[in-house]
Amino acid sequence: QVQLVESGGGLVQAGGSLRLSCAASGSIFRLRAVGWYRQAPGKERELVASITSGSITNYADSVKGRFTISRDNAKNTVYLQMNSLKPEDTGVYYCNFVRAAVSWGQGTQVTVSL
């Protein structure tokens, strides 16, 4: 069973930056598309960025130009660089496979203050 562990969240002022990491177990990781998802308080979980096995990326309109997703298959890790953070970026961030998701991890909390 593949496990995904998120880290790197924290409290940051608006305009600041954070880099999230998603570490996975298992060699199959490098063959699959991975997404970063966000769940804001009182809202449903949404996909904010994804990256294919060939490193083709896609972003939600709300984060386009500010977030960058990348992957290091040698380290079984996917990153989310978040710049120019806004209070509306606040939420718990999770990673998972875009298709055939595995059990969700604990996520990592991102809080952006004014």
Q: Which of 50, 42, 51 is nearest to 92 (CA)?
A: 42
Q: In whole angstroms, give the CA distance from residue 79 to residue 22.
A: 6
Convert the pLDDT of each residue in 6-59 to its tens digit.
999 999 999 999 999 999 987 678 889 999 999 999 999 999 999 999 999 999
Q: In whole angstroms, give the CA distance from residue 9 to residue 1.
A: 25
Q: Indicate the length of the chain as a whole number.
A: 114
State yes or no: pLDDT of 109 exceeds 80: yes
State yes or no: pLDDT of 1 exceeds 80: no
pLDDT of 27 reads: 66
Q: What are phi and psi of 89, to 5 degrees?
A: -85, -5
Q: In whole angstroms, give the CA distance from residue 25 to residue 21.
A: 13
